[in-house]
Copies of this chain bind each other. A is one copy, B any other.
Amino acid sequence: MLSPMTARPDLRPELSQAATRFTHRVTVIDEHGQPREVEMPAERDLTLYLDRRELVTLMTMGAHPELLALGYLKNQRLVPGIEHIASVQVDWEVNACAITTRGGVPDIEARTARRIVTTGCGQGTVFGGLMDELDRIHLSDTRISQGTLYELLDAMRRHDTIYKSAGSVHGCALFAGSELLLFTEDVGRHNALDAIAGWMWLHGVQGQGKTLYTTGRLTSEMVIKAAQMGVAIVVSRSGITEMGHRLAVQLGMALFARCTQRHFLLYSGHERFIAEPELAPPPPQPWTPPPGRGG
């Protein structure tokens, strides 16, 4: 693990440790009319309160609720720095997460009202004000080789996941080179990514030299969030949308999508990629008649 660091460890917030049961077993009926036992991921509502003011209700599996809350705050820009947060306390008895700041958030009423209106409520986008910020983001000159990309994909394939047992969750991981720093899953790809953002914020980890892996699609919001985290290389098992692609080109971010086994497609940021095509599986050869059969 990379050694986490903050400028002032004494100002790191106190977090509860409220990770809880992640899956739930249920009996279903299959196409033969036979009962079968299957697992589903948990899904819980978690209402965030910032200094006792209700902020938002998130639906989460509950693997990293404190990091999710931190990442949400970070991405919403409601608190200027992690050192302003005194504690994050999750209580599943009441499905609440109480975030307490040191000294309060100035003008919280106006700020939460404005933020919420600009974030594309109810449809999973934080589009509004964030587009303007993209112009000010300059990603570092991080690069990745094909060999490292393969190591990263191998690590994800071997990783034990809720997805393998219960499906219906998205995973997200942060790598330094091929070293896995954090892996998290949640019922939404945005929540999984927010938990990574919360962990980076908590520990003062910068995006430089890091690679973000996600099982989810690379829509505009995923690219925006990665850019806000300062991560220049993003890898997805899934596909990509036009705006995700356009923003990545604008940012000079490398986007690898459709990554399975040894296959991948590089959509943007070619200059960040050190190709090693000799590591790729041999391409399918055109058919030729077998020798010695006379035709």
B242:A24 contact, CB within 8 angstroms: yes
- Is A4 part of the binding interface, using a Cβ–Cβ cutoff of 8 Å? no
A117:B188 contact, CB within 8 angstroms: no
| CB contact list, A114-142 vs B, under 8 A | 116-128
Nearest-neighbour CB distance to chain B for A96, whole angstroms, equals 13
Q: What's the number of copies of this chain in the assembled complex?
A: 2
Please name all residues of chain B whose beta carbon is closer than 8 Å to the beta carbon of A45 when the two chains form the complex.
Answer: 125, 127, 220, 243
Nearest-neighbour CB distance to chain B for A95, whole angstroms, equals 10
A121:B238 contact, CB within 8 angstroms: no
How far is it, in angstroms, between the C-alpha of A243 and the C-alpha of B46 when the chains are bound? 13
- Is A280 part of the binding interface, using a Cβ–Cβ cutoff of 8 Å? yes
Instruction: Give the A interface residue count (CB, 8 A).
Output: 74
Please name all residues of chain B whose beta carbon is closer than 8 Å to the beta carbon of A263 when the two chains form the complex.
Answer: 30-31
B125:A26 contact, CB within 8 angstroms: no
B277:A59 contact, CB within 8 angstroms: no
How far is it, in angstroms, between the C-alpha of A166 and the C-alpha of B281 when the chains are bound? 24
Nearest-neighbour CB distance to chain B for A29, whole angstroms, equals 4
- Is A285 part of the binding interface, using a Cβ–Cβ cutoff of 8 Å? no
Please name all residues of chain B whose beta carbon is closer than 8 Å to the beta carbon of A38 when the two chains form the complex.
Answer: 265
Please name all residues of chain B whose beta carbon is closer than 8 Å to the beta carbon of A120 when the two chains form the complex.
Answer: 56-59, 121-122
Nearest-neighbour CB distance to chain B for A152, whole angstroms, equals 14
- Is A234 part of the binding interface, using a Cβ–Cβ cutoff of 8 Å? no
How far is it, in angstroms, between the C-alpha of A270 and the C-alpha of B26 when the chains are bound? 14
The 7 closest A-B CB pairs, nearest first, are A124-B124, A168-B239, A121-B121, A43-B241, A43-B243, A167-B239, A31-B280
Interface of A with B (CB < 8 Å)?
23-24, 26, 28-33, 36, 38, 40-45, 54, 56-59, 61, 72, 75-76, 113, 116-128, 146, 166-168, 187-188, 190-191, 217, 219-221, 238-245, 258, 262-267, 270, 273, 275, 277, 280-281, 283
